[in-house]
Chains A and B, each alone.
Chain A
Amino acid sequence: MQQRVKEVMGASVALDCDAELMLRVKDGDGASFGLLLGKYRASVNHFLYRMVQDQAISEELAQEVFLRVYRSRETYEPTAKFTTWLYRIATHLALNWLRDQKNERSQQRLDETSDDAPAREVADRSPSVEQRLLHQVNVKEVRQAVAALPDKQRAAVLMHKYDEMEYSQIAKVLSCSESAVKSLLFRAYETLRVRLAHMA
């Protein structure tokens, strides 16, 4: 199987063990799919949560991501890193969802969920609660600042910041050039620097 991966990816590309696992899934090994799920369950869920900012929806989208991975096993070819392929599916689903949900109702729901958590904490007056309240206010501001970014900028920032992806990999996920990714990120962080400057 390693030979097969090398043939497809070429000698210059390092052997991606996730791609190897995926080739095993292709050959009918369900346990390898379980390993991939265990390895990327959290990161895919967190990426989608930060993209759509709704826990239930992000989990539904994550389910769809892994379902698509499983369904595509027979046609899978390791032409790129497994994570690039995985995040391309996740980003595609998230961007589609965001495109479909750009209406007043989704914004209202976001505001409601954001306001819920601090309201529940008001009864308790201990100092730690104040700290938690402050933290929640900060998180709310961060969420709103990230949510205000254009969808592609948001995806690029999340992959760069939380998944520590290289510019080249983000470019492959977003199907654009590396210089375009650098430009996206520079503009996105510029917006965030202005919006979050008071948190210094």
Chain B
Amino acid sequence: MKRSCLIILVCVFILNVLSLMALYSSLHQAGELKNIEMFKRQIIWVGLSWALLLAVAFINYRIYFDLSYIFYAVAFIFLLVVIFSGREIMGAKRWLSLGGFQFQPSEFAKIAILILLARCFTRVNEAGNVFVQKMLLPFALVGILSFLIFKQPDLGTAMICMFLFFCLGFSSRIKKFYLFLPIIAGLLLLPLGWHTLKDYQKKRLMVFMNPNIEPWGAGYTIIQSKIAIGSGRYAGKGFLSGTQNQFNFLPERHTDFIFTVIAEEWGFLGSLFLIILYYLILSNILAIAGGANDEFGRLLCIGAASLLFLHIFINMGMTIGILPVVGIPLLFMSYGGTHIVMSFLLLGIVCNVSGQSRI
């Protein structure tokens, strides 16, 4: 178990290095580094996150069991506040200023949801109506937070929260039959859901079907991203040599589209290497889950793996053009503080679960 934890940390460290290289490259333009400040800030974030990881690794994960509803409440309040007084960036209120620095409450909400679900799905053998306790209650709680996130609007994160529910649900002991009920209900409500989408969200989904209906804007990003990734071919164009990147044809390339830069400059082999690193991290988290002392620890690890996986899959999928564009960062790689802190926090918890295990 300790070995798994070590593998995870080594892989994460390699990802950090790759991330900084990709960021360095993406901040270049025609041969010169345009924004050294962002690069420095990211190094600081990574450093802080490692410190946080180590700290969290020493906190006994069982206290989250008791704190789960408090976390939930805090997340709920944050999300309410952000809706009413959040800072608006590009038409979405996702950011909250707290003591001089910005953070996204939705990132915290993901962790709160994860802990809450782990708790709900753990208490299997108690009295009471199983369906209400294991199904309706957690579903409703997740649903409320997802709805608030959706209203920001942040469709991607809201969907990740809902997916997390099913990932944990299918990994727990509750009857699978119960889980299909909300899926069926959700499918029936889909047409209704379309009308609650903002215009730009509808457009993005339509653009996903056919990028050429909006040659710039959302469609432009998809087209240019695919061109960049495809043109990387086997081994890529080389570090700092991606033409799509260096000549500024890729928007958002240091944040949500960082994978495009990697795929262009390092090619299929580089992309494959990245995926293998991610796989090593996830499979080792699941190995830790398998050896966890109790159900709660197991579910925490599974939830962490699910959450990380959903981010990675959705982000890469959208850059390759097999999924619609939603604002989801690539964990450990994209520029930005909150999601790095969030993912390291998860790893901290996983490390603690690993440390507590008897194997």
Q: Does B associate with A? A: no
